[in-house]
Structure 1
């Protein structure tokens, strides 16, 4: 079981697998880490199969998406996470200080406080709205 790990302190089993590098932006995380909620190896093996199947399906679904569409979806997801776009929003106009100083500050603050992998999508969406047109 390649992705089965046991916590040295609690003894609980986890499914741990890195997200392929090209899918990190789309999936929104670097690793799948899912508790199997047991210290019993036999039970962990049974649960592993179901979790592994679900993770494989998530990876396959992400790979099936056109890279341009993946970038679009990942950017919208990042903007929604930082409350810069509402869930139903499909496009965004460039944000300028002159037109909307408060929104401009929100984008700037979100970009500065975001993890490194979210900085670029926020800044690009702020200045280059064509990325969000679909």
Structure 2
């Protein structure tokens, strides 16, 4: 039997500590489009579906009492989430204007592409990777 192939990444799920703060960050600061928002009474949890320009999605969840991330960025599990961008300098300037701390731009030693890191409101490492 031939090995099947993936078509891409459909979504990445994130759990936040403060739903409204994270919703504001991902929609107003990063500009992701809201596809759907639901409060799940049985779990006392919000679920927010957000879309990126390429159609991929982020799912933002709130769960009462969810444990904090143990360390960053070298904890087991998701290390960071990288967004592909065409104008890295514009994004860095924009994020700084929004009060978001952004690391110095670096160059990937293997691809010669420029990139930088910043964090979401819960300290999740996010990367901007220049195309």
TM-score category (smaller protein): under 0.3
Alignment TM-score, normalising by the size of structure 2: 0.27
Larger Rg: 1
Relative contact order (C-alpha < 8 Å, sep 6+): which is higher? 2
Whichever structure has more strand as a proportion of its residues is 2
